[in-house]
């Protein structure tokens, strides 16, 4: 038995001022065969890792292809996408004959000329491997679950948790189903229900927690192989954006259709009740001691992460014992390294990349700590922060980074000598992934509605190409089975 695995992944915010090029992938995940790290998966590479670990026991040969993944930002350069895609497809061709293919994709990657890169890759892969080869795909729930993907894959599984703490668990399930299909023990069939809605669905809140737990309890029984909830990725101007439910059953299309519709209707009934309450900047900055999230400037959604609005408000109110991070500003990091630890000097930082970055901060800052090549943890994975500088401005400590990413692990602060548990207020730029590490140490968590580029009010996003009607842009929608 022969299986092939590869990864091509990013989450594209088509409104972001930061273009994504091959260099963006080289800075994050760029592993050719023979170069894959052996300690842990990187971003979307869990299918390859899981398959490698189980190959001997399950009796198959794994052919390892290339894995490319970039941090969320703007649209990927067309030639660079085609280069990475064609490298993977050439490897696939060279690996024939194959019984199975495992792809670790994100599912919201857009390249110039390609609204649906994953659908494009899958369609070409299917042409190469033929109809009898079993193709399994793992996606992030912040994906566009397009028809082209469902038509060309045999099994698709999305992560269930947000924060995404179950990337490896879902990859294990994917491999189990793909192997069972190759062995003819099951015949997966998929149904997709389009809920016609845009929303945010953290599974750390009770309503969504219960919903996901019920889905999990149904799996593995009565021919139900897998249930996935596509949240959608709101910051992309592509036609097939929107929440979709995917059900995989064992050779029972009618059951998959029925369940997808039933779950989809329940998901629709939850509209407007799944996201946390967002406070205004003025109220939130008065509510110590808390962990405060700034989702509107989350690098994980493609934002630059250099908006200064909350920091400005904290300084204006003379907040003390507060820390904020990260702010992505490679130039300011360089200036801090040039000034040196302990230096007090006038620094302009943040507020650079686009209109939604707001104005830069100007202040007399003290460089309290410098550290090179830092990492932070996210579940089992390590995420690079690059060179980091901790500065003190008024009573607020700020972590400047030169490798753009969101707040995930406590090391973001600890690397540069700031102890998160000793702060009265911690401000983290992240939508919900921060909850894995910061939830357990927080006395209280507040979500702020600031003016960064990722508006929580979807009606303010300047879509031009999204299929309508869709909630909450439109009140009357027509949900239904689409596959």
Q: Which residues bind Zn ion (CB under 5 A)?
A: 140, 142
E strand or H helix at 259: helix 253-269
Q: How far is the CB of 434 from Zn ion (least distance, A)?
A: 13
Query: In this complex, which beta carbon is closest to Zn ion, that of residue 164 or of residue 369?
Result: 164
Query: In this complex, which beta carbon is closest to Zn ion, that of residue 140 or of residue 173?
Result: 140
Place of tokens 């895609």: 85
Q: How far is the CB of 142 from Zn ion (least distance, A)?
A: 4
172 φ/ψ angles, rounded to the nearest 5 degrees: -60, -45
Query: In this complex, which beta carbon is closest to Zn ion, that of residue 142 or of residue 244?
Result: 142
Q: How far is the CB of 162 from Zn ion (least distance, A)?
A: 7
Query: In this complex, which beta carbon is closest to Zn ion, that of residue 60 or of residue 235?
Result: 235
Closest by CA to 11, choosing from 297, 299, 230, is: 299
Question: What whole-number distance in Å separates Cα of residue 479 and Cα of residue 119?
Answer: 22
Q: How far is the CB of 188 from Zn ion (least distance, A)?
A: 24
Neighbours of 444 (CB within 10 A): 10
Query: In this complex, which beta carbon is closest to Zn ion, that of residue 12 or of residue 415?
Result: 12
The strand ranges marked E within 262-328 are 278-279, 290-293, 322-328
What are 19-23's contacts with CB under 8 Å, separation 24+?
A: 19/73, 19/74, 19/75, 19/76, 19/77, 20/70, 20/73, 20/74, 20/75, 20/76, 20/77, 20/80, 21/76, 21/77, 21/80, 22/77, 22/80, 22/83, 22/84
The residue with its CB nearest to Zn ion is 142
Q: How far is the CB of 140 from Zn ion (least distance, A)?
A: 4
Q: How far is the CB of 437 from Zn ion (least distance, A)?
A: 17
Place of tokens 């930061």: 18
Query: In this complex, which beta carbon is closest to Zn ion, that of residue 235 or of residue 328?
Result: 235
Q: Which two tokens mark 6?
A: 């590869």
Question: What whole-number distance in Å separates Cα of residue 347 and Cα of residue 450?
Answer: 23
Q: How far is the CB of 366 from Zn ion (least distance, A)?
A: 36
Q: Which two tokens mark 67?
A: 């894995």
Q: How far is the CB of 454 from Zn ion (least distance, A)?
A: 13
Is 55 in contact with 47 (CB distance < 8 Å)?
A: no
Question: What whole-number distance in Å separates Cα of residue 429 and Cα of residue 292?
Answer: 9
Closest by CA to 401, choosing from 393, 411, 13, is: 411
Query: In this complex, which beta carbon is closest to Zn ion, that of residue 125 or of residue 143?
Result: 143
Return the axis-axis angle of helices 117-129 and 78-94, rounded to nearest 10°.
20
Q: How far is the CB of 468 from Zn ion (least distance, A)?
A: 24
Query: In this complex, which beta carbon is closest to Zn ion, that of residue 142 or of residue 149?
Result: 142
Query: In this complex, which beta carbon is closest to Zn ion, that of residue 293 or of residue 315?
Result: 293
């Amino acid at each position: 038995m022969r299986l092939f695995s590869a990864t091509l992944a990013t989450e594209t915010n088509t409104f972001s001022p930061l273009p994504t090029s091959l260099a963006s992938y080289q800075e994050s995940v760029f592993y050719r065969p023979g170069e894959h790290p052996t300690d842990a998966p990187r971003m979307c590479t869990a299918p390859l890792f899981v398959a490698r670990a189980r190959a001997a026991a399950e009796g198959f040969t794994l052919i390892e292809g290339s894995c490319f993944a970039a941090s969320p930002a703007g649209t990927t350069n067309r030639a660079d996408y085609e280069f990475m895609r064609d490298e993977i497809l050439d490897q696939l061709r060279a690996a024939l004959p194959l019984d199975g293919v495992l792809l670790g994709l994100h599912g919201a990657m857009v390249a110039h000329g390609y609204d649906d890169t994953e659908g494009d890759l899958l369609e070409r892969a299917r042409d190469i491997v033929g109809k009898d080869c079993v193709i399994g795909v793992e996606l992030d729930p912040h994906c566009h679950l397009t028809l082209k993907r469902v038509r060309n894959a045999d099994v698709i599984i999305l992560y269930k948790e947000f924060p995404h703490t179950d990337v490896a668990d879902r990859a294990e399930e994917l491999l189990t189903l793909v192997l069972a299909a190759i062995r003819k023990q099951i015949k997966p069939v998929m149904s997709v229900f389009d809920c016609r809605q845009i929303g945010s669905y953290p599974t750390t809140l009770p309503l969504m927690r219960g919903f996901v737990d019920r889905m999990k309890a149904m799996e593995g029984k009565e021919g139900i192989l897998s249930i996935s909830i596509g949240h959608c990725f709101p910051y992309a101007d592509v036609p097939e954006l929107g929440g979709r439910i995917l059900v995989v059953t064992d050779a029972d299309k009618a059951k998959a259709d029925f369940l997808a519709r039933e779950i989809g209707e329940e998901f629709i009934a939850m509209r407007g009740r799944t996201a946390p309450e967002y406070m205004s900047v003025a109220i939130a900055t008065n509510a110590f001691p808390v962990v405060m999230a700034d989702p509107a400037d989350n690098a994980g959604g493609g934002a630059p992460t250099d908006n200064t609005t909350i920091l400005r408000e904290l300084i204006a109110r003379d907040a003390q014992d507060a820390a904020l991070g990260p702010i992505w500003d490679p130039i300011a990091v360089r200036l801090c390294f040039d000034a040196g630890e302990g230096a007090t000097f006038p620094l302009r930082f943040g507020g650079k990349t686009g209109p939604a970055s707001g104005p830069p901060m100007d202040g007399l800052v003290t460089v309290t700590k410098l550290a090179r090549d830092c990492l932070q943890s996210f579940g089992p994975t390590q995420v690079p922060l690059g060179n980091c500088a901790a500065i003190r401005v008024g009573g607020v400590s700020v972590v400047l980074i030169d490798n753009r990413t969101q707040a995930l692990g406590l090391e973001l602060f600890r690397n540069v000598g700031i102890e998160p548990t000793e702060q009265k207020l911690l401000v983290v730029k992240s939508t919900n992934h921060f909850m894995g590490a910061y939830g357990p140490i927080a006395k209280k968590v507040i979500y702020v509605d600031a003016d960064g580029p990722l508006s929580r009010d979807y009606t303010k996003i300047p879509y031009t190409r999204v299929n309508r009607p869709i909630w909450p842009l439109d009140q009357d929608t027509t949900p239904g089975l689409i596959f």
